[in-house]
A = this chain, B = another copy of it.
């Protein structure tokens, strides 16, 4: 196509086609069921934010309404709060180091330091509850749960990835949070299907590997959230929200009492340049 053609085409279309992917005769539309607003009111999932929610419900309650579409039960609230408390803070883990190191260079951007820290909540560390939750969902909905658990274990061995939720670099003999979180769930009266599925995986792993692998906090959180009706697609979001809060604590401490210069030294002192 020559330039004259392009210019004409653009002019004729009054530039509406200049971005190329718009079919005006039948424009795609999207929809959201979360929130609508005008100058007078903000409506969230059919409820009035100002009159129904602010000052009347807790953060966790408003959030579960917003994300899941209906008011949460007391059991859901209790368990999601427990999960949020469990994962909010674990000292100078990579996310906290990242947030602090980022603030060292860019103290002007609070949100940038937080966002940087959250970016490490991923598939290998910190963000594995969601994938573990998906495994648990598949087991619970299977006809033969024991067989499905074994199939999951074998699948991960075949693709040479650790099954998310099992094994831990620090808490080799068991993370103390795991037992506690499961107790919270049981005390709250959950049905227990997903926790059972977690035990099925433990058994299948031991059978396949010939040795026990510690059940880590991601598995416990995945099971707990599943018991509370949180879909696995949302589970990493619960972790991110908890960690966002925790990183805020680290960032305000860092801005008042910087540890980043020392951590920079400490981190580089153990890495050799070998060209």
Residues of B contacting A33 with CB < 8 Å? 253, 273-275
Number of interface residues of A (CB under 8 A): 148
A73 in contact (CB, < 8 A): no
A238 in contact (CB, < 8 A): yes
Is B1 a contact partner of A248 (Cβ separation < 8 A)?
A: no
Is A91 a contact partner of B37 (Cβ separation < 8 A)?
A: yes
**Do A31 and B271 form a contact, CB below 8 Å, given A43-B6, A66-B89, A245-B63?**
yes
Residues of B contacting A27 with CB < 8 Å? 9, 262, 265-266, 269-270
- Which chain A residues in 80-96 approach chain B with CB under 8 Å? 80-82, 84-86, 88-92, 94-95
Residues of B contacting A245 with CB < 8 Å? 59, 63, 66-67, 237, 241
- Which chain A residues in 153-199 approach chain B with CB under 8 Å? 169-173, 176-177, 180-181, 183-184, 187
Which residue in chain B gives the minimum CB-CB distance to A28?
B262
Which residue in chain B gives the minimum CB-CB distance to A126?
B105
Is B90 a contact partner of A42 (Cβ separation < 8 A)?
A: yes
A211 in contact (CB, < 8 A): no
- Which chain A residues in 219-252 approach chain B with CB under 8 Å? 231, 233-234, 236-238, 240-242, 244-246, 248-252
* Chain A residues with a Cβ under 8 A of chain B: 1-3, 5-6, 9-10, 13-22, 24-25, 27-46, 48-51, 53-55, 57-60, 62-63, 66-67, 78, 80-82, 84-86, 88-92, 94-95, 97-98, 101-116, 118-127, 130, 169-173, 176-177, 180-181, 183-184, 187, 231, 233-234, 236-238, 240-242, 244-246, 248-253, 255-275
Given A9-B24, A106-B127, 7 new contacts (CB under 8 A): A6-B269, A28-B261, A32-B273, A63-B245, A97-B264, A237-B251, A244-B244
